[in-house]
Structure 1
Amino acid sequence: MQGKGIIKFFLVVMLLVTIFQYFFYIPTSAVENDAADYAEEQSGQTEGEAFRTQRAFFLDSITDQEVFKIPLLKSYTYQDLKQQQLALGLDLKGGMSIVLQVDLRDFIRKMARNSQDDALEKAIEAASQAQKTSQDDYITLFESSWNDVKGTSRLAPIFSRNDALTDDIDQNTSDAEVIRVLREKADETVVATYGLVSRRIDKLGVVQPNITLDAERNLILAELPGIENPEAARRVMTTAANLEFFDVLPIDNTTIQALVNADQLLDRRKKIADGRDSNYVAEVTYQIDTTYRVTDEGNLTDEIESIDSLEVANQTAGPLFSIFSPNNGNLGPAVLGISTKGNLDKVTELLEDREVSRLFPRNAIYRWEAEPLPGQDNQPSNLYALYQLNMPRSGEAPLSGEYITDASSSPDPNGQIAVNLRMNPEGSQIWARMTTDAANAGNRQVAIALDDRIVSAPRVNGAITGGSTAITGGFNTAEARDLANILQVGRLPADLIPVQESIIGPSLGAENIRSSMVALIIGFALVLLFMIVYYGGAGIVSILSLLLNLVFIFGALASLGTVLTLPGIAGILLTIGMAVDANVIIYERIREELRIGKTLVNSIADGYSNSYSAIIDANVTTLLVAGVLMYFGVGPIKGFAVVLAIGVLFTMFTAVLVNRLIIEWWLGRSGNITFWTGFSKNLFANVNVDWMGKRKVAYGVSALLVLGSLAAIFTRGFDLSVDFQGGYSYVVELDQEVAGQDLSAALTAPFGGNLPTVKSVGSDNTYNIVTKYMVDQRDDVDGVAVETVVLTALYDGIKAATGNNDLTFEQFSNSEALSGTRVTQINKVGPTIADDIKNSAYWAAGVGLLFIGLYLLIRFSRFRYSVGAVVALFHDSIIVMGVFALFWGRLGFNMEVDQAFIAAILTVIGYSINDTVIVFDRIREFLNTYVSLDKTQVINNAINSTVSRTVITSLTTALVVLVLLLFGGDSIKGFAFALLVGIIVGTYSSIFVATPIVHDLMDESEARETVVTTEPTVTTV
């Protein structure tokens, strides 16, 4: 073989690079062993929450420290070492995955300087509604909505008031140009938001996070393997951290009279609207009972000790005073009044009413305190204070978090946890001026707001210089640390909305690893055993090249930073089958050459040279499928595609070039190598079947299968996963037996009357529960995250169904637990991302078929080959979908149609076309060779000569996938079943669908033409 030196060179280089990649596991293991020893010493345990906490603390403390050094080359931190290794996905390690949508509604409002233009607000809200079901970006949706509602209005007068846009927009700028500028600024905002989220995640101390940006759809995907507090992580990622410092507007008699006038105005308006008379009486108002602090000497101070509220019925009040109590002079100089938690938004809405706002100072804005006022025994009450603040004419706070250079947390002298801030010189000057003005005004307060809530409102006795201050807001240690980290990184340019979320417990991940490794080892062992039994010495060479292939694949995945998931392991198993396929193509061709009397050396040379075309065609089609999956897939599916693509590339290198090097080395050492054993020598040697004579029967069988599949699809439909319909999906393990229908009934009331879908998975005591309850809710519910509200409803229903009153919410929601009734997996998919996934699936399937059809048209220069192949692929896909529609809920494992199922369909397409291309390639060869035979004889001979390869490849690949089905984790069984059905149907369609169509579209005279093709140039003997 010519060029052996080049091949050996690349082989040696690849081996050295791969060994270097694996070498990093040694120092990493040493560091992790030290962490385990430290955790055991500190906690006195070898596992459990305390052990994990101490281990995480140790690793976090050395994340940025040098722990390993290669002399004269590079030093490595622990984080650097982990980046050099293959990362495990959430389904193997546990953790959190979240898709965040950059919310551009407030971005447009800010660009418009919070304009009160009715048409603008209508367009923003219409675009937000359209975004739930559309795949267009938000600015495109806003443009469309604006055109629908604008009337005679124009965008330029609205946005030209923003100083940041004056270079691009003036009063005469067209709407189209304004939209272009907004899109450009929005893109910058999305990229900046992604950068800040990435930096915040770095502060979480997560090892090997995977963060990607889908700029086209304004989506940020973050995978955080091993994260132990998903709720805190979500808060860190999504908190806007908009820190603002305000001067206050003092409350005086004029302000209180303005409140009275506002209440009367609203009352008159309500009476007119409701048709009520002047005797209208509101149901309730609030009376404030305030206790003041007394010094040790017995002197009364103006510091509030506690505030109690008493409901007083049937007091005359208007819409405002019925839910809001004004400050009667004892709540501090900046507090306008108080209200209960459920009425905060309503009070703000009333005060910001256009007519009402004219009664107050033009520059007044209102912000509620973040924490409730203290009640009896200093316990939190249900009352919150409303501050009246001074907003400058610029529309921006005089001092913001942009001036913060450093933030840290520590206890203050009163024992509260404070967040300490340090400002840059410009911020220091502004802060000094603000505190000086407040002090000169007579110990007046300044207010510090975080995300539009007042977290601190200190009284100022004198100027604060030096650029340092502290904020307290009832933080615990973890909250203060997270807030300090967030402020240090900076505020988000735009809000983030979680549209998809998945949480997997480590116990489920450990089980997935165990079952997947068992499947991988058994499947690999069976394939190796078969190759030795069937091919003898050549089978041993296949084993060596397969092992080398796996070494290269894992090394490449680690070096590329790929995250290995369950679908990725399935891709590795499939790669093993494809590597065997390449060997089978070569070996079967060598056996053909040996049977016609050629020498061993010539048979090997001709076997390889005559196999290159088929191998390249088959692998290129698979690469096309992998490319489509990489482009349209997200998360685990993209990981599967990467593994598949890498596997194909290394398969072509090891199974063809390295394999031949080993065979030639073997020949040089012993002078002989076998390609068969006693029982396999003449197997498939004399196959003579009239395949085309049976094509009409095959057409009938295929028609029945397709019609039956379509009937199942349209009558039973699919078990659509949460990926495609949106909602919350939970995997719950129970410590006792509960019937699925009882569980569903118990959950209906907590889920607001929505009947959930309850399916048994894995065992009788493990259920997948899917609900759409509150999936459209974006904002918190009374300050509680929506995800927590839904999880609490699930907890209430589970508790009722099991009758386990001792079960606590903390126990139930602890995915780290190894036993007991608990949630092991959480998945949330919003309607926007669900539609996105569905459309991506359609595009992936359509584009995949189109690419394959075009490739075959170019490769074989005849449309009949493309038609035959594409019809066969439609045939295979419909039957696989029909089988899923017919059998879901009947086979004892999960058969949901999800992203993994779409990947399986595309893989089936790739596998089926692989089979078909081998037959087509031999037909083309025989048309050039046997010019005296008619087309039926030529095609029959081509199939007969390739049937051994078809049967052996299908058998070995099906064997690997069957092992995955039998021994793989519950979450991968549906994927494996789809592949298994696809392999069987794909093998059948290559012979009985694709090839007969080529036969029937081919004229006899056309078959006699010499088919001129351009074969790939290959270095050979």
Structure 2
Amino acid sequence: MQGKGLIKFFLVVMILVTVAQYLFVIPTNAVEADADNYAQNLTGEDSGEAYRIARASFLDSISDQEVFRLPLIKSYTYQDLKAQQLALGLDLKGGMSVVLQVDLREFLRTLARNTKDPTFEEALNAASQAQQNADDDFISLFGDAWIQRSGDQSLASIFSRNDALRDQIGVNTSDAEVIRILREKADETVRLTYDMLRRRIDELGVVQPNVSLDAERDLILVELPGVENPERARSFLQAAANLEFYDVLNIDQATVNALIQADQLLERRQALAAGQDSSELSATEIVLDTIYATDENGNLLTDSIASIEEREVPRQTAGPLFSILTPNQGNFGPAVVGIAQGNDRQQVMEYLRDPEVARLFPRNAIYRWADAPLELDASGTPGNLYQLYQLSVPRGGEAPLTGEYVTRASSGPDPNGQVAVNLSMNSEGSRIWARMTTEAANAGNRQVAIVLDSQVVSAPRVNGPITGGSTSITGDFTVQEATDLANILQVGRLPARLEIIQESIVGPSLGESNIRSSMTALIIGFGLVLAFMLFYYGGAGVVAIVSLLLNLVFIFGALASLGTVLTLPGIAGILLTIGMAVDANVIIYERVREELRTGKTVGQAVRDGFSNSYSTIIDANVTTIIVAAVLAWFGLGPIKGFAVVLIVGVLASVFTAVLVGRLMVDYWVEKKGDMSFWTSPSKNLFADVNVDWLKFRKMSYGISSVLVIASLAAILVRGFDLGVDFKGGYSYTVVLDQDLTAQELRSSLTGPLNGTPTIKSVDSDNTYNIVTNYLVEETGQIDGKEPQDVVLAALYEGVVAATGNTSLTLEEFGNIESDGGTHITSVSKVGPTIADDIKRSALWAGAIALLGIFLYLLVRFKGKRFSTGAIVALFHDTIITMGVFAACWGWIGFNMEVDQAFIAAILTVIGYSINDTVVVFDRIREYLNNHVSQDKKTMINNAVSSTVSRTVMTSFTTILVVFVLFLFGGASIKGFAFALLVGIVVGTYSSIFIATPIVYDLTDEQEARSVKAPEDTSVSV
């Protein structure tokens, strides 16, 4: 009775907590209804882009306001309410997901005070290269690279120059100790970058963002459901927000002469390299008049120089520098050196950083480009041209004033009506800013440059000292750009640079389609299982149904409270959990039916049936949790969510089926005096099974050997259809508005994408998945465009050529929000680094899962024969399942690519197979212990026969729900479901015909009579 009271207490508590979790939906829906009404009244529409923007704006405006209060307990904002509910992943809601790599390369450079030591740079480059194919973290790789190259030089000589490290690193500190300290500093930086990024994302205004840190791999996963401007989100996430203030150096005749000499020097160097006579090269002489233009009130015009006198000596062509950099000839401010095309900026900087060229210019000069190109003039020129500024840097090499002194940042109009970012500084920042502006004003004709992430966003003229610690930045900002910049500056700059190595964007229409198909699968699968339990177990089936319903309620409540994001694989996990949750009921009910057939009363049969089932249920579910835990540790994004769902589902099913189920059965039996555990059609099914299973072991060994060899041959010869997760590249799902074959599309795309893309038909009409590795390793801009924009334009060009639809615009094609016409519904990018990392993680996950199961069974069954049988059976199931995929991809009408979801399916097959095998092993151990008068063959055959009903029932219900998932789950989940179907069938077979015969062959007659059961694991209820 005491045990029952404790279970009732926990049941009531769990129900109350879960119901409270669900009740948060009510005030949340009220707020969202207000948002709907606001958007409808503002736009006069109930859908469309304008409606969505207005709705999102309303929710953003109240996201941090109190909208609900629990009396005497707590108040909640809209964001708080959403955090209490189950969030939908990108594949169900649409949005953007990125995996960001924390760039520790620049971090180490900063710690080393930007040393120019060549060995240090070589080690950094080698570590970056090794990181693409290695398991170790970047700091360890850097340490290895340094040891290989450094000779007698110590790391301490590099890092002891940093004042912040001198108390930890001295000149005699060993390299190993320096690496340990660097690892600690790197871990702190990664954690701080993660924390600050989370704060920054809160400012982005996305409802229910999901941000998680993989500290072992220095990766940050960000999911932004419902985000409608991926470009804005991308910039927001990666902006370092390194704000600096500099004095400027006005160009004068000396600067002009230095430019001329630099151009001539570079030209002579090119001529010598080409074997030409450089003495014939002529020069251009430019004389600068330093009188600047003023307006009618005598104020300086910083965007105009009064006159430049130019005297040319005849010359055939401009030199290397002047061919790409046009010197300032009076059109721009006095600190502007010249202008250049966007794609020439890097080359100009390389020329100016040349040691011989750099000596021609002032030692305190540095050069920075404007952040945005010049505006077009009336004729539509100059186009993609950027201004190059000459700034003054103090002797220490650092900006005199940085964003660290900024205490507050906001956006708003300035007195002239321009959009501005307004800054307030602390006392030290105010003092430095007052000194800088005073010196600039006293010098006359002077500007100060405001630099963000090494680009000049504004270079205002200083008319007088600014002593209040407040200033504003103007720079042709839009309202949104100013707001984003103010938010970033308010939070602070990120400690380390972030690089996007994986990206996925899903349109809302695709998410809605996935929800419909998933809910259909969930409802049908659940309904079929309920109907079957009623048909097969009668009254006990009602208890199983209530247990399953409670199981679902607890699963969704627990996932919401844990902040889990529900994805398509997560829904698959819930469906799989339903099938596997029936397993505990089946084990118990089949055992009760056995006890009833021996003539026991219902009360005795229930008591013995439950108590004799606990050991089996614990063993079966522990092995499943081991696999799910490995998936949760190694998986990313949706796969991690699938693992969490599986763990929660297993725990909930054990609680509801074993403990709550026992309460309900006992109550029924005590009140009614009876309970049925069968119906007339099912009463005698599998009741008198008597098969010599071991007679078939040599045949099964032969059949399995052939299947395994054929599978290995298929894997080695055909290989796998590797998804973008494992090979890297860009992946697009494209919907066409006309009939077109994959070959026609492939032919038109091969040229623009600089190679043959992989094209697969998706299960809906005229929908194709297109994968290309074009520019996937490119990180810098190409002709002023981001690589993903160049790839999209190439894809658009090929699609237009294939369809002949010249009226289709690039904007329409790339609009994932569209619900008609030819357009992209989803896009993802996986860089080579993350692809290699995913492959390594998959191998480690499989190996660790198998090792964990082997060790558990070794301890649990106190003998290697059971562990050996189980592991051989698992290898058998895994190889055959993978072999089917290798043999069948390409000619079956659905996607069979190997990706993270496939790895999750393989590990789930391992978990299910071992679940099935453990049930058989448990009964074999019981028979070996309790039927010592029989020979081992008879004992094992009888043990297997006694579990046939459970094996058939569990496999049938699990196959039922997985088959429904396969039929109705949508294109993106079919491969996952097919792998599970194959694995369940093969796993059921191997438990009886592979694992069991191996145990038989490894057990002698004397050993069979000495097997001891584990200590009693029953629960007193």
TM-score by length of 2: 0.96
Whole-Å Cα distance in 1 between the matches of residues 828 and 807 of structure 2? 26
Q: Judging changes above 3 Å, is the alpha-carbon distance between structure 1 residues 348 and 300 closer, same or farther for their aligned structure 2 residues?
A: closer
Moved more, 354-363 or 550-559: 354-363
Structure 2 counterparts to residues 513-662 of structure 1, below 5 A = 513-662=515-664
Please tell me whether the aligned partners of residues 285 and 323 of structure 1 are also in contact (alpha carbons under 8 angstroms): no
Aligned to 1:750: 752
Equivalent residue, structure 1, for 2:365? 364
1:760 corresponds to which residue? Answer: 761
Give 1:328 shift. Answer: 4.6
The CA deviation string for residues 326-384 of structure 1, in whole angstroms up to 9 with x for no partner, is 34566433222232222211111111112222222222111112223355328562332
Answering whether residue 924 of structure 2 is matched by residue 917 of structure 1, we say no
* Residue deviations 1:182-229 (CA, integer Å, cap 9, x gap): 222222221111111111110011111111111121111111111111
3-state SS of 1:499 partner: strand
Q: 1:855 to 1:696 in 2, by over 3 A?
A: same
Q: Cα distance 1:949–1:326, how it changes in 2: closer, same or farther (>3 A)? A: same
Residue aligned with 2:187, SS: helix
**Is the CA contact (8 Å cut-off) linking 1:135 and 1:836 kept in structure 2?**
yes
Identify the range of structure 1 (328-337 vs 535-544) with the bigger mean alpha-carbon deviation: 328-337
User: CA separation in 1, counterparts of 2:442 and 2:500?
Assistant: 46
Cα deviations by residue, 1:825-856 (Å, 9 ceiling, x for unpaired): 11111111111111111111111011111111
Query: Following TM superposition, by how much is the alpha carbon of 1:1017 offset from its aligned partner in structure 2, in angstroms?
Result: 4.1
Count of residues paired in the alignment: 1018
* Residue pair 2:252, 2:288 contacting (<8 A) in 1 also: no
Report the alpha carbon displacement of residue 716 of structure 1 after superposing the two structures with TM: 1.3
Matches within 5 A, 1:122-137: 122-137=122-137
Give 2:74's aligned residue. 74
Indicate yes or no: 2:43 matched with 1:28: no
Which segment drifts farther, 662-671 or 987-996?
662-671
Greater mean deviation of Cα atoms: 646-655 or 1-10: 1-10
SS of the equivalent of 1:698 reads helix
Q: How many angstroms does 1:301 deviate by? A: 6.1
Residue matched to 1:789? 790
Identify the residue that residue 250 of structure 1 maps to in structure 2: 250
Equivalent in the alignment of 1:678? 680
Aligned residue identity for 2:804: G
Question: The residue matched to 2:278 in structure 1 has which SS?
Answer: coil
**Which runs of structure 2 are paired with 1:939-954 in the superposition (5 Å)?**
939-954=940-955
Would the aligned equivalents of 1:307 and 1:374 in 2 still touch at CA under 8 Å? no
* 1:599 to 1:52, Cα distance in 2 relative to 1, 3 A: same
**Residues 307 and 376, structure 1, Cα contact 8 Å, conserved in 2:** no
Shift of 1:469: 1.6
Amino acid across the alignment from 1:198: R
- Asked if 2 retains the 8 angstrom alpha-carbon contact of 1:372 and 1:380, the reply is no
Quote the residue 1:959 is aligned against: 960
TM-score when normalising by structure 1: 0.96
Q: Could you give the per-residue CA deviations for residues 750-809 of structure 1, whole angstroms, max 9, x where no partner exists?
A: 21x221101001223111110111111112223322222222221222122111111122
* Conserved 8 A contact 2:630-2:848: yes
In 2: Cα distance, 1:299 partner to 1:841 partner: 68
| CA distance, structure 1, for counterparts of residue 706 and residue 544 of structure 2 | 40
2-structure distance, mates of 1:1010, 1:567 = 41
The structure-2 alpha-carbon separation of the partners of 1:165 and 1:596, relative to structure 1 and needing over 3 Å to count, comes to: same
- For residues 901-938 of structure 1, the C-alpha deviation after alignment (integer angstroms, 9 at most, x for no partner) is 11111111111111111111111111122111111111
In 2, Cα distance between the equivalents of 1:109 and 1:142? Answer: 12
* Matching of residues 234-245 of structure 1 within 5 Å: 234-245=234-245
Give the partner amino acid of 1:14. M
Q: Find the aligned partners of 2:121 and 2:1011 in 1 and give their Cα distance.
A: 69
Unpaired segments of 5 or more residues in structure 1? Answer: none
Question: Counterpart in 1 of 2:340?
Answer: 339
Distance 1:656 1:822 in 2: 51
CA 1:701/1:313 → structure 2, altered by over 3 Å: closer, same or farther?
farther
Please state how far the C-alpha of 1:307 moved relative to its aligned partner: 13
Q: CA deviation at 1:410?
A: 2.3
Give the Å deviation of 1:442. 1.0
Aligned with residue 465 of structure 1, among 464, 467, 471: 467
* Alignment match, 2:805: 804
Q: How many angstroms apart in 1 are the aligned matches of 2:769 and 2:287?
A: 50
Q: Contact 1:406/1:488 (CA < 8 Å) preserved in 2?
A: yes
Task: Write the distance in 1 (CA, Å) between the matches of 2:547 and 2:733.
Answer: 41
Matched residue type, 1:175: D
CA 1:807–1:305: 2 relative to 1, 3 Å: farther
1:407-440 CA-to-partner distances (Å, cap 9, x unmatched) read 2222334443222222222111111110110111
Instruction: Deviation per CA, 1:159-190: give whole Å up to 9, x if none.
Output: 22222222223333333333233222222221
Which residue of structure 1 aligns with residue 155 of structure 2? 155
Aligned 1:797-946 pairs, distance under 5 A: 797-946=798-947
1:171 aligns with 171
Query: CA contact under 8 A between 1:245 and 1:400: conserved in structure 2?
Result: yes
Give SS of 1:711's match.
helix
> Conserved in 2, the CA contact under 8 Å of 1:282 and 1:322?
no
Q: Which stretch shows the higher mean deviation, 558-567 or 366-375?
A: 366-375
The residue correspondences of 1:658-669 to structure 2 (distance < 5 A) are: 658-669=660-671
> What's the counterpart of residue 780 of structure 2?
779
Structure-2 residue corresponding to 1:510:
512
1:724 — aligned with what? 726
**Which shows bigger deviation, 475-484 or 879-888?**
475-484
Indicate the RMSD between aligned Cα atoms, in angstroms: 2.5
Q: Is the 8 A contact 1:2 1:1019 kept in 2?
A: no
| CA distance, structure 1, for counterparts of residue 1017 and residue 470 of structure 2 | 71
**Structure 1 residue aligned with 2:326:** 325
Q: Give distance in 2, aligned partners of 1:577 and 1:6.
A: 28
C-alpha distance in structure 2 between counterparts of 1:810 and 1:491, whole Å: 32
Residue pair 2:866, 2:999 contacting (<8 A) in 1 also: yes
Give the superposition deviation at 1:283.
Answer: 14
- CA positional deviation for 1:680: 0.8
Contact 2:431/2:467 (8 A) holds in 1 = yes
AA at the equivalent of 2:252: D
Per-residue deviation at 1:441? Answer: 0.6
1:180 corresponds to which residue? 180
SS of match in other structure, 1:462: coil
Q: Which runs of 5+ in 2 are unaligned?
A: none
SS in 2 for 1:3: helix
Aligned-partner Cα distance in 2 for 1:363–1:542: 80
Give the 3-state SS of the residue equivalent to 2:387 in structure 1.
strand
For 1:140-167, what per-residue CA distance to the aligned partner results, in whole angstroms no more than 9, with x for missing partners? 1212222233244333333222222222
Q: Which residue of 2 aligns with 1:494?
A: 496
Alpha carbons 2:304, 2:330 under 8 Å: kept: no
- CA–CA separation in structure 2 for the residues paired with 1:373 and 1:89: 41
- CA 1:167–1:380 in structure 2 vs 1: closer, same or farther (change >3 Å)? farther
SS of the residue 2:378 aligns to:
helix
* Mapped contact 1:865–1:998 kept (Cα < 8 A): yes
Deviations 1:54-100 (A, max 9, x none): 11111111111111111111111111111110111111111111000
Secondary structure at the counterpart of residue 966 of structure 2: helix
Q: Which residue of 2 aligns with 1:445?
A: 447
- Contact kept in structure 2, 1:285 and 1:321, CA below 8 Å: no
Amino acid at match of 1:947: V
CA–CA distance in structure 1, aligned partners of residues 285 and 882 of structure 2:
62
1:65 to 2:80 alignment: no
> What are the superposed Cα offsets for residues 308-328 of structure 1, whole Å, 9 maximum, x if unpaired?
9x9999634433233223345
Answer whether contact 1:262 1:359 (CA < 8 A) is retained.
yes
> In 1, distance between residues paired with 2:300 and 2:164?
52
Percent identity reads 67
The one-letter code sitting in structure 2 at the alignment partner of 1:720 is L
Equivalent AA in structure 2 for residue 18 of structure 1? T
The one-letter code matched in structure 1 to 2:913 is S
Confirm or deny: 8 A CA contact 1:285 1:325 kept in the other structure.
no
8 Å contact 2:962–2:977 — kept in the other structure?
yes
Distance verdict in 2 for CA 1:11–1:807, change over 3 Å: same
Q: Secondary structure at the match of 2:21?
A: helix
- In the alignment, is residue 386 of structure 1 matched against residue 395 of structure 2? no
SS at match of 2:960: helix
